[in-house]
Amino acid sequence: MRAGWSQETWRLVGILALSLVIGLVIGRVRDCLLVGLAVVLALNLYNLHQFLAWLGASEGLKPRDAPGVWGEIYHHVYLLQRRNRKRKRKLAKLLAQFQLSAEAMPDAAVALGEGWDIRWFNEAATRLLGLRPGQDAGSSIRNLLRNPDFHAYLSAGEFDRSVEIGAPGHLGRRLSVRIIPFAGNQRLLLAQDVTDRYRLERIRRDFVANASHELRTPLTVIAGFVENMRHDDTAAARHWARPLALMEQQAARMQRIVEDLLLLSGLESGQAVTDAQDVDVGALIHDIREEAIAAGGPDAPSLIAEVTAEARLRGGSQYLRSAFTNLVMNAVQHTPAGAKVWIRWRLDGDRGVFEVQDTGEGIPAEHIPRLTERFYRVDVARSRRRGGTGLGLAIVKHVLQNHDGQLEIESEVGVGSTFRCVFPSARLVFSANLDEQRKAAG
């Protein structure tokens, strides 16, 4: 670098000195210096022209010998280009390897552009999604995958979850599809064949539903006989009074479990969504509160209803009633007499929140993540004594899933618990005259 610069400087000084001497000799110093500068400028313009020509012939460039600082420029640009060529070769190799590994993947991978246009896809995408190599690149994935659930998933834009759809053109085959955004507006679509898992899940669901259904009739018969026998006034019945009372109690518990399992099966098959209505949550809270007071008797805590959201909730009214009742009954059962339980329906931003807050015993933190599992109880013996099925919160979770909602649980031992059902704004129906409608309905 320095050699080039000093050479350049000496050249400039040499030309100017020569111009000065000639100028002194012929008595026209200023003109000669101007000619000297013009020569320097012309030399640099010539070098610049040569340099651009050299750059233009980009393939197989060799560094050129040039005087002064131009030699340095040629040298550095040559090094830079050599480095770039190496990097390009490496990237091309990496890309080829990536494409080979993506081709070998059993899952479909589709690279999508900003407007959902297909940029590239692997062989599995042809097999699973029916994309045609050489034809479908550039088309919108929206036009090629015409599944309504997939379109709703794209529109919702919540890509931290996947969506399950039927594979196009393959009856019975199920795919789990997920969009992964990357590099600004690019997206990668991954689709996995989950037919086996789906089939097993359906077998399990059908088994539970069928077993529960089969148990329903014998249980009703047994419960009926036991009830008749209990009300019999013979000496034998009096002798068997205690066992009969226990049998009646246990038969009732089994009936509740069967009913809850059937409700869960219905929820898993998505029934709650199909018979949606605009539910008046305020009126529902009023009913549930009355029921809870009647069921709790003198030991019930005081129940305070606070309805501040003037919105109805779009959903299956029986399922929502069942979920909300479960939460209120749980609060009543775990809160001592005289303490308080709040039942709220309020807005949090644009979301609707149904909330039950109690001042009861609370739940140790390690149990909270598992509470919505089927048959999970903090204290199994106590739950059974109370006649609990251990399915209540599993039902709540499923009802919320069916209504695009989420369950949030906060609890502190000795302070109390809050169970919060959060619904998205899309589930809320605002009407100005909700109060009037309520009055009219009595």
Q: What does the binding site for ligand ADP look like in residue numbers (CB under 6 A)?
A: 326, 330-331, 334, 358, 360-361, 363, 371, 377-379, 383, 388-393, 417
Nearer to ligand ADP, 193 or 260 (CB): 260
Please report how close the Cβ of residue 280 comes to ligand ADP at its closest, in angstroms.
Answer: 25
Given a contact cutoff of 8 angstroms between Cβ atoms, the answer to whether 256 and 295 are in contact is no
Nearer to ligand ADP, 198 or 342 (CB): 342
Nearer to ligand ADP, 158 or 412 (CB): 412
| Residue found under tokens 């029921």 | 291
Buried b / exposed e across 164-186, counting CB within 10 Å, b at 16+?
A: bbbbbeeeeebbbbbbeeeeeee
Given a contact cutoff of 8 angstroms between Cβ atoms, the answer to whether 302 and 359 are in contact is no
Please report how close the Cβ of residue 87 comes to ligand ADP at its closest, in angstroms.
Answer: 59
Given a contact cutoff of 8 angstroms between Cβ atoms, the answer to whether 429 and 314 are in contact is yes
Q: Dig out the tokens for 213 from the structure.
A: 């259904």
Nearer to ligand ADP, 122 or 326 (CB): 326
Nearer to ligand ADP, 192 or 330 (CB): 330
CA 117 to chain centroid, in Å, comes to: 22
Please report how close the Cβ of residue 336 comes to ligand ADP at its closest, in angstroms.
Answer: 11
Count the helices and strands in the chain (H runs, E runs). 15, 13
Please report how close the Cβ of residue 290 comes to ligand ADP at its closest, in angstroms.
Answer: 19
Three-state secondary-structure class, residue 427: helix
Please report how close the Cβ of residue 410 comes to ligand ADP at its closest, in angstroms.
Answer: 11
Q: What is the DSSP string of 352-389?
A: EEEEEEE-SS---GGGGGGTTSTT--SSHHHHHHTT--
H or E element at residue 188: strand 186-193
Given a contact cutoff of 8 angstroms between Cβ atoms, the answer to whether 399 and 267 are in contact is yes
Please report how close the Cβ of residue 212 comes to ligand ADP at its closest, in angstroms.
Answer: 16
Please give the Cα distance from 442 to 438 (Å, whole number): 6
Three-state secondary-structure class, residue 276: coil
Nearer to ligand ADP, 11 or 367 (CB): 367
Nearer to ligand ADP, 181 or 369 (CB): 369
Please report how close the Cβ of residue 255 comes to ligand ADP at its closest, in angstroms.
Answer: 14
Nearer to ligand ADP, 22 or 368 (CB): 368
Nearer to ligand ADP, 147 or 318 (CB): 318
Nearer to ligand ADP, 296 or 360 (CB): 360
Please report how close the Cβ of residue 359 comes to ligand ADP at its closest, in angstroms.
Answer: 10
Please give the Cα distance from 427 to 347 (Å, whole number): 12
Burial of 399 (0-12, 13-18, 19+ CB in 10 A): buried
Burial of 330 (0-12, 13-18, 19+ CB in 10 A): buried
Please report how close the Cβ of residue 399 comes to ligand ADP at its closest, in angstroms.
Answer: 12
Please give the Cα distance from 277 to 346 (Å, whole number): 19
Please report how close the Cβ of residue 348 comes to ligand ADP at its closest, in angstroms.
Answer: 20
Residues 6+ apart with CB under 8 A from 294: none
